[in-house]
Amino acid sequence: MKVINTSDITEKVRDLCIEANHRLSPDMKEALKRAGEEEKSPLGKQIFSQLEENLKIADEDTIPICQDTGMAVFFVKVGQDVHVEGGSLTDAINEGVRRGYTEGFLRKSVVKDPLIRENTKDNTPAVIHYDIVPGENIEITIAPKGFGSENMSRVFMLKPADGESGVKDAIVQAVKDAGPNACPPMVVGVGIGGTFEKCALMAKEALTREVGRHSDIEYVAKMEEEVLDRINRTGIGPGGLGGTVTALAVNINTYATHIAGLPVAVNICCHVNRHRTVVL
């Protein structure tokens, strides 16, 4: 049985917080470059040029790629044959967030209570989703989520009779309602099925999938392409200032659901769509 000390987890999480907020992941960097070449609007091309310059400055000067360094969201796959020693796994992750956001001079955006609104001053606590899986490793994915795009999230409790066309319409409507507020070009995460909370979780996790990699389910992959095309024909464009590239990808996850329901969640992320993964 593999033994992992919480101190190692804390150190890795600290590094993930800093890296994810300072440098765009390779898939997003490539997607932005390709989208800039495909954009037909002169103003849209100018926006892409500015985004590219921003990424260059952030990388060279080690400053955040976005001023909103987000609430720290984690997807943690824990191997059932691993043993964590030295304390609580949750505490270790939160300590990594505390260190990453303070030592990395990242903006602290978390308030302890949703109504009292007192800042915790270290961006903790994180939002952590655990999954127990076979094996003896711990895979940690961080996805810092800014709230300009998070506030544009939607859940639709559709009727089964609405079918695939109703799902597509709901996704496109969510993007239209978001407009420039989600800082396009965006990545659109979608969860279909499960329950009210399950579809939202799937939509969030879909944002961590590599941009350009479609679902393994054939009809879902086709839906991703069709909805992306519809979104890019809305004319919202980069920065919401008009253009032919509004979204870089539509990533859809699905799950079994009840005979009486068709839950659909849409979680939009801005053009940085931060995510990083480490395996211990």
196 and 99 in a single domain? The answer is: no
Residues 121 and 230 in one domain: no
pLDDT of residue 155: 98
Average pLDDT value for residue range 188-205: 98
* pLDDT recorded at residue 7: 98
Q: Are residues 182 and 123 in the same domain?
A: no
Q: Are residues 251 and 216 in the same domain?
A: yes
Mean pLDDT, residues 270-277: 96
Looking at the fold, whether 186 and 76 belong to one and the same domain comes out as no
12 and 107 belong to one structural domain: yes
At 85, list the tokens.
Answer: 């020693």
Last residue of a domain, which of 144, 176, 203? 144
Range of the domain at 193: 147-278
Same domain (yes/no): 160, 192: yes
Number of domains in the chain: 2
Summarised one tens digit per residue, pLDDT across range 150-192 is 999 999 999 999 999 999 999 999 999 999 999 999 999 999 9
The whole-chain average pLDDT of the chain stands at 97
What is the value of pTM for the model shown?
A: 0.96
Specify whether 15 is located in the same domain as 136: yes
For residue 160, whether the previous peptide bond is cis, meaning omega lies within 30 degrees of 0, is: no
- Per-residue pLDDT at 103: 97
Residue 196: its pLDDT value, please? Answer: 98
Pair 164, 210 in one domain: yes
- Average pLDDT, stretch 213-239? 98
Q: Is residue 59 part of a domain?
A: no
Distance CA 104, CA 98 (A): 10
On whether residue 254 sits in a domain, the answer given is yes
Please provide the DSSP assignment of 111-147 as one string.
Answer: BSSTTT--B-SS-PSPEEEEEEESSS-EEEEE--B-H
Does residue 86 lie within any of the structural domains?
Answer: yes
Which among 66, 96, 60 has a CA at the least distance from the CA of 280?
96
Packed helices 42-61 and 26-38: angle between N→C axes, nearest 10 degrees = 150
Q: Write the pLDDT tens digit of every residue in 246-273.
A: 999 999 999 999 999 999 999 999 999 9
Q: Is 36 contained in some domain?
A: no
Closest by CA to 21, choosing from 139, 130, 103, 92, is 103
Q: Are residues 120 and 10 in the same domain?
A: yes
* In-domain check, residue 27: no
The tens digit of pLDDT for each residue in 21-46 reads 999 999 999 999 999 999 999 999 99
